[in-house]
A and B are shown apart, each in its own frame.
Chain A
Amino acid sequence: MNDTMPDLAEATDQIQTVTGDEFNAVVLEAAGPIAVEFMSYGCPHCRTIEPVLQRVAEMVKSKVKMVRVNVAIEQEVASNYNIEGTPSLIMFLNGRQVGRIEGPSPTVASVLTAVTHPFKR
């Protein structure tokens, strides 16, 4: 039974983790809308919002790709985007930053609006 647990946990993760090396290819050079969550596993707020983000990622997966960047590891990427607090969401459209929000309220409605609103303008 233990052998199946990691697979299950992996399957439920709707958000791809992106490293600093991959950031350009996955976010800046990619076409279409992408929401990037800047987070840290040591941050309690990120933990609170994680299930909400997973749910939103599942809801919008046909329209918006969601990825995460661990600011504790990828400090250069975080610094490039002036991340001063986690969780922060930055929305990119065709590699262009079109919106951002810091510490969104941990509700599906709030995060869903934060993720989709910038792309509607």
Chain B
Amino acid sequence: MNPFSTTIEARAKPILLYNDECAICRRIGTWVQKSAQSKSGQKRIIAQPIGDDPKALRVLNPKLDIWDAYATIHVLMPDGSMKLGGEAVAEVLRDLPNTKWFAWCFAISLFGFRPCQMILNFGYLILSDVRPLLGCESCGMPNVWVRPILKMVKWVKGIFAKRPLVSPTPHATLFSAVTPRALPVKEAFHS
């Protein structure tokens, strides 16, 4: 199914794009979808998975790159602009009926700085980095500072699970300058 089948409706409203390969992002996306419904039944923001089709994304916004979309949270605004990271989170909070009452604080500016927005940006960066600890299996190799914590979590889980630990994430792998190996003929008939 094309996740952007509601494009025409979506044009009039901001669209939150979330990584549907990531458990924590999926939960947040689902929460936004549910929370976006106002009392009048109208949605002020639409949450949609990024999907896997670069062309479908470019239909929404020609400047939108699928790799960027997976790397950072994006909110596509009806005027054609995009909000990223903490700015996108603030936009989502402004659009949700349950959170808009406090989201005004992100616009407060003191001497050219927006302290609440800065805290939110920082919070987003932390959350983005620790996603592998929260069940994201598609975020690749975690950042350097998260790796020891992730190892420790897996070690503790391994103790309670009483079974051998598996590799960190299905999609994570270390770069290694391994020379390609040509398989012998027997192995070449793989599966």
Contact = CB atoms under 8 A, between A and B. Distances in A.
Given A72-B52, A96-B188, A121-B182, A103 B174 contact: yes
Contact of A97 (B55, B179, B188): B188
Nearest to A107: B177
A38 to B, nearest CB: 10
Contact of A41 (B52, B141, B178): B52
B176 interface: yes
Interface residues of A, number: 46
Interface string A73-106: 1000000111011111101000011111111111
Nearest to A48: B175
B21 A81 contact: no
A81 B66 CA distance: 25
Contacts of A113: 179-180
A96 to B, nearest CB: 5
User: Interface size bucket, B side?
Assistant: 35 or more
Given A2-B62, A6-B55, A43-B171, A100 B180 contact: yes
Contacts, number: 121
Contacts of A91: 180
A110 B177 contact: yes
A81 B191 contact: yes
Nearest to A105: B177
Contacts of B59: 6
B50 A41 contact: yes
A10 interface: yes
B175 A103 contact: yes
Interface of B: 19, 21-22, 50, 52, 54-55, 58-59, 62-63, 66-67, 69-71, 138-141, 167, 170-183, 187-191
Interface pairs A-B: 8 shortest CB-CB: A85-B173, A42-B138, A5-B62, A44-B140, A103-B173, A114-B180, A2-B62, A6-B58
